[in-house]
Structure 1
Amino acid sequence: MDDEITKADDINSRTIIADVSTEMKTSYLNYAMSVIISRALPDVRDGLKPVHRRILYDMYEMGLKASGPYKKCARIVGDVLGKYHPHGDASVYDALVRLAQDFSLRYPVVTPQGNFGSIDGDPPAAMRYTESKMSKIGEEMLTDIGKNTVDFGPNYDDSLEEPTVLPAAFPFLLTNGSSGIAVGMATNMAPHNLNEVVDGICALIDNPDISSLELIDYVKGPDFPSAGIICGKKGIVDAFTTGKGKVVIRSRYEIEENDKGHDRIIFTEIPYQVNKAELVKKIDDLRKDNAIPNISQVRDESDRDGIRIVVELKQGAVPNIVLNMLFSRTALQSNFNIYNLALKDGRPKVLTLKEMLSSYVDHREIVIERRTRYDLQKAEERAHILEGLKIGLDNIDEVIEIIKASEDNNIASLELQKRFGLDAKQAFAIIDMKLGRLSHLETQKILDELAEIEAQIAYFKDLLSDRNKILAVVKKEIQEIGQKYGDRRRTEIQERELDSTTDADFIKEEQVVVLISNKGFAKRLSAEEYKAQSRGGKGVRGAKLTDGDFIEHLFIASSHDIVMYVTNLGKAYYTYVYEIPEGAKNSKGANIKNFLQIENQEKVTSIICFEDFKDGEYLMMITKYGITKKVELSAFVNAKKRGVKAIILDEGDSLVQSIFVNEGDDVMIVSKTGKGLRTSSDSIRTMGRSTRGVRAMKLLDDDEIIGLVRVEEDKRILMVTENGKGKQVRFEEFNSHGRATMGQKIYSVDEKTSYLVNALAVNDDNDVVFVSLNGQTIRVHVKDISIQGRTAHGVKVATFKKKDDYIVAMAATNYQEESDEEVEIPETAEETEASNDATNDNQTEE
């Protein structure tokens, strides 16, 4: 029983009672700080993490200098593990490899021999196969380390000492950058150009009050090993002034033509830390998936001379559009997020450019001060010995007698100290002096050396007495580093900030035909789909429409233009042309409600197209009943797909036409019965969007407005009737009248069988495209249509394949010099299925 009590008391005495949450917090913080300080973050003074510092110091101890032989990396890694870094061999070897990679470090501090990996992500060879030694610039990291310039501390088992920081005559942190993930924090510091960093350090020494913003005049920005182009300076300014910033890096490229006349894009520089092999594979995957359809082939032609990624384009591809897609979807454009986190005074801190430069200058100041004190001590010790030798030489005969009379050196030393007032070191130096030093020449050498040492002592004391003189040495030595190892900048910095891309950046800008049917089906096609025919040609089918539907609006535009839609309810909407779905030539297209938020009772009555919203441009509208108004184009900038009010319509009225006008322009208003009014647009005052407008032209009871045309000196007015007759009339044939008059006769129509369809302003540089009720499309050269008088009946311009067909829409486009061609497309879906190929008739009708 007593034994059990004694045992229980012994267990209780060895039991520690602790709060779990407190213990976890303490242990986690200890672990976190250990990772932060001992593994993941660089020291702001020498820019090295502990593993890098230990590798360089071990190579220094092994004598692996730039001028010496290589040693197996396995030997170096094993030595570092055994002496200083008790972690996995892979972590040490990976760190050693990175110090030697010229695509990872701007200025590698290790010279490799063997396979040390590649920019394609290939791993290095095993450490037993590779060899390395310090580079010349790597040696600068340890210059004067033997002169008590830095503190040393015990290694992991107290058996050796290792430096807590290196002297770092070369500014490693700013020139090579650093990256690392600690616990709860990470660092990502960009590399910079050595010459620029040297200039920045000198500027800071000369003017300690200089700001980080002013230092940008010297340190321009990151300079990556893989070069590339930095777009804009905002991220650089943010990083230098706050320690955080985003830098956008783009690949450098050239656009060339290959042997077949096709364009190709050649990339010669890529962003920092991008895996080239994965990049090429990603581009090829986009090609295979048809995500970027204009790429025909991707090749990696890189070699030892540099990077060369060739992207072959298909015929007709627009290189800039392909580039925008590549930059948007691949690492050819990458962000480098700068986070200047480093250890300062043993604590992690986010640093500005000035703080990093100041920390380095302070470190070098301490190194040079300690080196000077060390040199001063050694010089004083040597001067002390030389002074003793001088005394001995001055009394050489007596000295010899004392030494000869003494039993041993110790007694001789004591006798010399008593006789000449020397200390033990000086006495033994005299005793150890060779007889050959007694010659006159050797005696003079001792005296000269003493004079030189005394001059050095005076210099060292003077240097230590003035901080500015130490800073001058710091400046001089860093300038020498720049002269020895500096090179030109690799990464270009563009002033212009990179604007965010829009959908338009990925769309080829080209001429397209836009067709919108009476029932609201819309599509766009390339203008090249239609070949010009002679007057009277039968044309091709432009749309396969449903029963009762017909093409109501047709116009030619750039794919980047803006299309404004005005509905029967007086609302205006707009989209970009490329937002209208692309369709096949004989398809009906997509319902307009797919891309416009219009109500069920709304119908698009007028469509206009323009490049951009500009001040000083006016939109003039006219309704079927002859009401007109003029509104500034900029008033519609907020319309978009939701729409805004454009005009207030009378009951039963609808919008017929909308055009752009400028101050001083004349316009022609045309009715379906052949009446026309030429008047000045200035006679119509500018109004707001939510207004009714004013009377444009007086109409008879059965007449309606069918067209509104701006008068242009180099153009003529073209009018076409429903039954396919048309003519051109010169604008000077019409006299200008006031607003709200009846105008004059401009076309003789047979009102029982046909009316005017529309009126256009054209010249010989135009073709005109007609669309019939049944979807037949005809393209005719304007120069083939007669120029006639105001009252003429016109000539036949189109022939219909069905007797009950007639023209419902027309639009002007650019003239194309092509052979006359007629393509017949089956009229019904059944005929289409029976014959997939159209037949060519090659005929012309008068």
Structure 2
Amino acid sequence: MTNTISIESELKKSYLEYSLSVIIGRAIPDVRDGLKPVHRRIMFAQHDLGNSYNRAYKKSARVVGDVIGKYHPHGDSAVYDALVRMAQDFSMRDPLVDGQGNFGSIDGDAAAAMRYTEVRMARLASEFLADIDKNTVDFRPNYDNTLQEPVVLPTKVPNLLLNGTAGIAVGMATNIPPHNLGELIGGTIHLLDNPGCTIADLMGFIKGPDFPTGATIFGGQGLVDAYTSGRGSIKIRGVMEVEEKKGNRQSIVVREIPYAVNKSTLVEKIAQLVNDKRIEGITDLRDESDRNGIRIVMDLKRGSIPDIIINQLYKFTPLETSFGINMMAVVKNRPMLLNIKEVLSYFLDHRREVIIRRTKFDLDKAEKRVHILEGLRIAVDNIDEVVKIIRASASAVEAKANLMERFELSEIQAQAILDMRLQRLTGLEREKLMEEYAELLKRIEYFKSILENEDVLKGVIRDELMEVDKTYTTPRKSELLRHDLDSIDIEDLIADDEAVITLSRRGYIKRTPLTNYQAQRRGGKGISGVQTSDGDFIQNFMLTTNHKWLLLFTNFGKMFKIKAHQVPEGSRYAKGAHIANLLPLDKDEHIATAMSLQDMSSERFFLFVTKRGMIKRSPMDLYQNCRTTGLKAVNLKEGDELMGVQEVNPDADCILATRNGTAIRFNIRDARPMGRVTAGVKGISLRGDDEVVSAVTTSDGERFELLTVSEGGFGKRTHIEQYRIQSRGGKGILNMRLTDKTGSVIGACLVNDTDDIILLTSGNKIIRMKVEEISLTRGRATQGVRLVRMDEDVNVAGFDLVMDPTETEEEDTED
């Protein structure tokens, strides 16, 4: 009859067995020696081969063959990969294998084939296998029951923390960073002497991880959490320094990189960021690393700020990484999450067991030798009678029996007498025999004291640890800072200076310090500005500061939000970078207007104005969360485009100025607050092909005059009392009398006598003048005065206001 088995229970049972096999037998190290089975088998196989640090190297293939043939029932590539890593000084804090040949590089280069490389155990590895032949650890059958392999190595080194480990099992993982041997032994001895010490006490000795590649560790609360609970996260930063070069130039040099970072990949990442202009200011990138250490050199443009570029490198590249600590280890065949005190306690327990078992082994051996020496001493003292008994015996068996009977000897003692050479009868040999006997008695007394007295046992453990410390400890490689990493805002390194943002019709944008433009007298020709291509001209021209948000609104009604300092800086003559490098614009989409803000709250409002006279007032907080792909700011009717956006006070009045010289003034409260994705209400009724060119509000303090500028270079300054308040949606009144000489209106703004204005022509000339030099007109319907002289076919393309200028006035200049 066939037995019925539940598939559910069978799957649970089989998968549990599989997971335990992976956890115990492959992925998670033993807490005692800090080794996974493959590493333990590699070291034991080399011990069997006699491949110690003071012997000649052996082919790696020989070692791998012994490991997979005797102990490790897996593929040779897995064993060789583990062997290679044990020899890499950039992977292991203290390598356990001494390799000869190509064992890979920090650039990710693979090691040479195992038939080409040679290995032997590192000197430190001898401390892992010391006394293994003295019954210090248990052995178990290998996979085919033909040989015995150790369950654990009798190591004198706290290797779980020394070299760390990483492994992914079934349902759990481990990730333990490497540490400094001297610090570990200091903490271990402190715990040995003070079993009740706290983790904080241990952290006085064990400062934190110590990576083979150096770098700087920020061991704040994350490190405390890791050492206290077994889990935590730390930040690691590469080490960079600034070198001064000839010609007032500088270079950034990377000296150390975070643990497990591929150097070649890091260099490629930096190059990509430079090419994509996400990091600006680097003119050349070279990897000058050699056998003496890492050296990645980045030459900087003259005038670049190294601190800004360094922090960009930390932000965008693996030069700053996180290391998640997860101290999972196998304890008595069970995976456990351990804190640092538990890890060291289990190691000390292991050392106690090893020393006790070794002592019992040595005691037993010494007592057996003393037993034999006691028999030999009897024989030497009665040598004539012994010889007589032996000569009278018919056989060796009879001689042994006669000796045992005559002198009350054991069989072992009697056999030793029969095996004794005649040279032992000399006076010198007899003296040596007695010295050996006396020495053994002392050793037996010492061994018994270790087994009987806990203080003596601790002394042995302490002495052995101190000897390891004296022989193998090396200076710390990683600098440890006992605080969390506070991310440095790049803005903290950028002065909040005033700047001019210019954006051409074809989409070229740049940022120029305001100090590049000096005040001139009215009527001057101006100084050279942006060098644009034929048919292009500056469309947006605004003043801001480097720390403010730059809000870019497109003609399609979308909003983009970036910091002003993210706009590439250019000289007064530079063309700038294309806006497509900063924003994802659609076909035929361009920036309609730009504005800058420090913060956005629900108490503040945007006023949206379209070319067809529609307006919309919306709270700013609706636009706070702007994605990199942009945000829909306003719904537009077919054929309409967004003309401009500005911040408004609900108590203020709004004046809309049109291209054909009309204007309307109404109170902002006539436009009720609306949601983000709405079209708004009518602000002015336009005639024919007229369109809105400017929208200004009266909330600018004492600025009670409206300055209207035409494309022909004329300007008209009129007191706003000349514009009566009307109902929203009306046709408005005459604002400026236009002629062929004045051309159409390009915009308007509120000003007072203390202001300056900057004009930009389509011929790329820039002129700055004081508002007080522009005559205040008595009437409203006038053409105004000439502001700038221009060549034929050149128009005023844009202008902006400079409030409370501080620059000194210069005479007319022309570049």
* TM-score normalised to structure 1 length: 0.69
Report the CA distance shift for 1:535/1:385 in structure 2 as closer, same or farther (over 3 A).
same
CA distance in 1 between counterparts of 2:808 and 2:373 reads: 102
Match of 2:511 in 1: 525
Report the CA distance shift for 1:514/1:299 in structure 2 as closer, same or farther (over 3 A).
closer
Whether the 8 Å CA contact 2:511–2:568 is kept in 1: the answer is: no
Q: Secondary structure at the match of 1:493?
A: strand
How much has 1:61 moved relative to structure 2?
0.8
Report the CA distance shift for 1:552/1:109 in structure 2 as closer, same or farther (over 3 A).
closer
Q: Which of 579, 591, 594 is the equivalent residue of 2:593? A: 591
CA deviations on 1:648-692 (whole Å, 9 max, x unpaired) are xxxxx965546xxxxxxxxxx89879xxxxxxxxxxxxxxxxxxx
Aligned runs of 1:452-467 on 2, under 5 Å? 452-467=439-454
Task: Report the residue type matching 1:226 in the other structure.
Answer: T
Task: Report the residue type matching 2:141 in the other structure.
Answer: P
CA distance in 1 between counterparts of 2:562 and 2:88 reads: 51
Aligned runs of 1:54-453 on 2, under 5 Å? 54-453=41-440
How much has 1:291 moved relative to structure 2?
2.9
Report the CA distance shift for 1:769/1:471 in structure 2 as closer, same or farther (over 3 A).
farther
CA distance in 2 between counterparts of 1:324 and 1:497 reads: 16
Report the CA distance shift for 1:808/1:156 in structure 2 as closer, same or farther (over 3 A).
closer
CA distance in 1 between counterparts of 2:468 and 2:348 reads: 14
Match of 2:469 in 1: 482
Report the CA distance shift for 1:249/1:397 in structure 2 as closer, same or farther (over 3 A).
same
Q: Secondary structure at the match of 1:391?
A: helix
CA distance in 1 between counterparts of 2:306 and 2:810 reads: 27
Q: Secondary structure at the match of 2:299?
A: strand
Aligned runs of 1:439-838 on 2, under 5 Å? 439-500=426-487, 504=491, 511-513=498-500, 525-527=511-513, 530-532=516-518, 535=521, 537-540=524-527, 557=545, 559-560=546-547, 577-578=564-565, 590-592=592-594, 598-600=606-608, 601=615, 656-657=699-700, 757-758=751-752, 760=754, 770-771=758-759, 777-779=766-768, 809-811=801-803, 815=807, 821-822=813-814
Q: Secondary structure at the match of 1:598?
A: strand
CA deviations on 1:8-62 (whole Å, 9 max, x unpaired) are xxxx4xx442111111111111111111111111100001111111110010011
CA distance in 2 between counterparts of 1:481 and 1:366 reads: 18
Match of 1:50 in 2: 37
Task: Report the residue type matching 1:598 in the other structure.
Answer: F
Report the CA distance shift for 1:131/1:581 in structure 2 as closer, same or farther (over 3 A).
closer
Whether the 8 Å CA contact 2:550–2:596 is kept in 1: the answer is: no
Q: Select between 50-59 and 388-397 the one with higher mean Cα deviation.
A: 388-397
Whether the 8 Å CA contact 2:698–2:704 is kept in 1: the answer is: no
Q: Secondary structure at the match of 1:266?
A: strand
* TM-score normalised to structure 2 length: 0.71
- Number of residues of Structure 1 aligned to a counterpart in Structure 2: 652
Report the CA distance shift for 1:38/1:812 in structure 2 as closer, same or farther (over 3 A).
same
How much has 1:257 moved relative to structure 2?
3.2
CA distance in 1 between counterparts of 2:520 and 2:410 reads: 121
Task: Report the residue type matching 2:473 in the other structure.
Answer: G
Task: Report the residue type matching 1:778 in the other structure.
Answer: I
How much has 1:442 moved relative to structure 2?
1.6
CA deviations on 1:512-559 (whole Å, 9 max, x unpaired) are 13689xxxx999731268443654543258899xxxxx99997563x1
Task: Report the residue type matching 1:591 in the other structure.
Answer: T
CA distance in 2 between counterparts of 1:771 and 1:130 reads: 74
Q: Secondary structure at the match of 2:259?
A: coil
How much has 1:384 moved relative to structure 2?
0.8
Are positions 1:28 and 2:15 aligned together? yes
How much has 1:408 moved relative to structure 2?
2.1
Unpaired runs of 5+ in structure 2?
A: 533-537, 552-560, 580-589, 609-614, 619-648, 654-674, 677-695, 707-718, 725-748, 774-784
CA distance in 2 between counterparts of 1:161 and 1:819 reads: 97
CA distance in 1 between counterparts of 2:352 and 2:126 reads: 19
CA distance in 1 between counterparts of 2:267 and 2:800 reads: 52
Whether the 8 Å CA contact 1:188–1:338 is kept in 2: the answer is: yes
How much has 1:779 moved relative to structure 2?
4.0
Q: Secondary structure at the match of 1:43?
A: coil
How much has 1:776 moved relative to structure 2?
7.9
Whether the 8 Å CA contact 1:246–1:335 is kept in 2: the answer is: yes
Q: Secondary structure at the match of 1:210?
A: coil
Whether the 8 Å CA contact 1:321–1:508 is kept in 2: the answer is: no
CA distance in 2 between counterparts of 1:589 and 1:268 reads: 44
Unpaired runs of 5+ in structure 1?
A: 1-11, 545-549, 565-573, 605-620, 626-640, 643-652, 659-668, 674-698, 705-754, 762-767, 786-795, 823-839, 841-846
Whether the 8 Å CA contact 1:52–1:95 is kept in 2: the answer is: yes
CA deviations on 1:212-244 (whole Å, 9 max, x unpaired) are 232111111110011111124222111111111
CA distance in 2 between counterparts of 1:797 and 1:330 reads: 54
How much has 1:367 moved relative to structure 2?
0.3
How much has 1:590 moved relative to structure 2?
4.5
Whether the 8 Å CA contact 1:40–1:182 is kept in 2: the answer is: yes
How much has 1:427 moved relative to structure 2?
1.2
Report the CA distance shift for 1:509/1:430 in structure 2 as closer, same or farther (over 3 A).
farther
Identity %: 43
CA distance in 2 between counterparts of 1:778 and 1:593 reads: 21
How much has 1:575 moved relative to structure 2?
9.2
CA distance in 2 between counterparts of 1:700 and 1:90 reads: 85
Q: Secondary structure at the match of 2:4?
A: coil
Whether the 8 Å CA contact 2:311–2:490 is kept in 1: the answer is: no
Whether the 8 Å CA contact 2:550–2:594 is kept in 1: the answer is: no
How much has 1:318 moved relative to structure 2?
2.5
Task: Report the residue type matching 1:456 in the other structure.
Answer: R
Report the CA distance shift for 1:756/1:253 in structure 2 as closer, same or farther (over 3 A).
closer
CA distance in 1 between counterparts of 2:173 and 2:799 reads: 71
